[in-house]
Structure 1
Amino acid sequence: MSVAGKTAIITGSNSGIGLGVARELAKAGANVVLNSFTDRDEDHALAAEISQETGTNARYIKADMSKGDECRALIEKAGACDILVNNAGIQHVSPIDQFPVDKWDAIIAINMNSAYHTMAAALPMMRNAGWGRIVNIASAHGLTASPYKAAYVAAKHGVVGMTKTVALETAQEPITCNAICPGYVLTPLVEAQIPDTMKEYGMSREDVIKNVMLERQPSKEFATVEQLGGTTVFLCSDAAAQITGTAISVDGGWTAL
């Protein structure tokens, strides 16, 4: 499962799933490029920490994934892109007839359009290198739906569709393109929501997790960022060379219902 010496760009990777994926790729030997829209000392410190822990070359490059030109510039600034992980995403919950237009536009731009721009910029590099792996972090909501999440569901369905299209376009090349579709993942953002939800429903932590947050996740367990990182490493390995155009669910059985 080694990806030693490969350069991996992971969008939206200074926290949560993206950071977990970056850490696992670095542990497998990849030189990783972290990304978000901020440019803080702690962003660069994260990259330095990963370098120190893994002996790889980790960097941080600022780019706003809501802007197509910055998406493409991220790939160019990295200088190489053997592995591309499109992870950046935001969420907003609202009935469609009340959905703020600016929120709709931002979700479509960051969750879906950014993947188009980064893949379009990365594919020539992969072709020149004679090898490439694209992993798009979609969602269980790329395969099914929930009310009040029209923009997110539309964007993630679009990512799954784009994944299949790019896989077909590169099917006779040493390049693969796959999607990972997580259910609920225990990230710092989700963890921070648990105490407020406990107060709102008057429930214990265990009951909130099982009966509220994981209501649709049959395993009643969160996926972890390490598991998503491990799935990504597998898809980038030689063992997965004939896996392309696939959406892999890491959702505790959610989409089996």
Structure 2
Amino acid sequence: MFLEGKRALVTGSTSGIGLAIAKALAAEGASVVINGFGDADEIAGICAEIGATHSGANLMDVGEIETMMAEAGPLDILVNNAGMQHVCPVEEFPVEKWHQVIALNLTAVFHTTRLAVPAMREKGWGRIINTASAHSKTASPFKSAYNASKHGVDGFTKTVALELAETGVTANCISPGYVWTPLIEGQIPDTMKARGLTEEQVINDVLLAKQPTKKFVQVEEVGALATFLCRTEMGNVTGANWSIDGGWTAE
């Protein structure tokens, strides 16, 4: 287990992509702090399963981020995964929703990173991995805040990579396309009803229309990529934006 003795924090990791990343890191021996909301018993079960601890910090609150980072202690691995979405035409986009999306998807990444970097610099080793999106490389209509935040994460990650280039600390993005999660699965019946489509049509002609493989990305695949970037052999891989989107952004 090549991450034995390493300490990791994964935000937005009580379900979905973040949980898969946390499990993958723990499987390689990392001591993991998970973060997010959810049923207390389910979270306790996750912690027991992978030997993790939990922080319920609200990442839209700077004070709570600072407390979480202080309680987590010096980190070797920081995975910024927490995010949210709101779909609306720009002229109708609620101002409060814009601020929330930017705060969680982008500003929280800044705060956790600025607080994690000093210890990583001191150790001369660190891995910062930010979950971006295919929307960090391309755009879709009605997702102005999300597109802006994910493009911002890409630019922020590159800047951090350059600043830390000689320290042994790397910073990279992972940019998934449509990932098969309970959230996506739950949207299918509503889309079928709203558009008068079959389940197969919703999957192939709506959700996977932009993914040439016509396959959903699996959360375990994202977890495997995140863990791969933590290997010592990946020390010269930094400032990169890794697509895992079934070929979406290749077109």
| Same fold by TM-score greater than 0.5 | yes
**Structure 2 counterpart of 1:159, from 153, 157, 167:** 153
Match of 1:103 in 2: 97
SS of the equivalent of 2:180 reads coil
Match of 1:228 in 2: 222
- For 1:109-134, what per-residue CA distance to the aligned partner results, in whole angstroms no more than 9, with x for missing partners? 00000000000000011122221000
SS of the equivalent of 2:217 reads coil
Looking at structure 2, the residues matched to 177 and 37 of structure 1 have their Cα atoms a distance apart, in angstroms, of: 26
Q: Is the 8 A contact 2:14 2:37 kept in 1?
A: no
Cα gap change, 1:37/1:70 in structure 2, threshold over 3 Å: closer, same or farther?
farther
SS of the equivalent of 2:42 reads helix
**Structure 1 unaligned blocks of 5 or more:** 52-57
**Structure 2 unaligned blocks of 5 or more:** none
Q: Post-superposition shift, 1:38? A: 5.5
Match of 1:21 in 2: 21
Q: Is the 8 A contact 1:36 1:62 kept in 2?
A: yes
Looking at structure 2, the residues matched to 204 and 50 of structure 1 have their Cα atoms a distance apart, in angstroms, of: 38
Match of 2:41 in 1: 41
Q: How many residues align?
A: 251
Looking at structure 1, the residues matched to 22 and 91 of structure 2 have their Cα atoms a distance apart, in angstroms, of: 38
Q: Is the 8 A contact 1:126 1:175 kept in 2?
A: yes
Match of 1:139 in 2: 133
Is 1:218 aligned with 2:212?
A: yes
Runs of 4+ in 1 over 4 A off after TM superposition: none
Looking at structure 2, the residues matched to 205 and 241 of structure 1 have their Cα atoms a distance apart, in angstroms, of: 44
Identity of aligned residues (%): 53
Looking at structure 1, the residues matched to 181 and 67 of structure 2 have their Cα atoms a distance apart, in angstroms, of: 28
The letter of the residue matching 1:27 is: A
TM-score normalized by the length of structure 1: 0.94
Looking at structure 2, the residues matched to 138 and 105 of structure 1 have their Cα atoms a distance apart, in angstroms, of: 18
Looking at structure 2, the residues matched to 164 and 237 of structure 1 have their Cα atoms a distance apart, in angstroms, of: 19
Q: Is the 8 A contact 1:9 1:33 kept in 2?
A: yes
Q: Post-superposition shift, 1:28? A: 1.3
Q: Is the 8 A contact 1:179 1:247 kept in 2?
A: yes
Aligned alpha-carbon RMSD (Å): 1.4
Alignment of 1:1-80 (within 5 A): 2-37=2-37, 40-51=40-51, 58-80=52-74
Q: Is the 8 A contact 2:138 2:249 kept in 1?
A: yes
Looking at structure 1, the residues matched to 190 and 49 of structure 2 have their Cα atoms a distance apart, in angstroms, of: 32
TM-score normalized by the length of structure 2: 0.96
SS of the equivalent of 1:217 reads coil
The letter of the residue matching 2:30 is: A
SS of the equivalent of 2:91 reads helix
Looking at structure 2, the residues matched to 240 and 191 of structure 1 have their Cα atoms a distance apart, in angstroms, of: 34
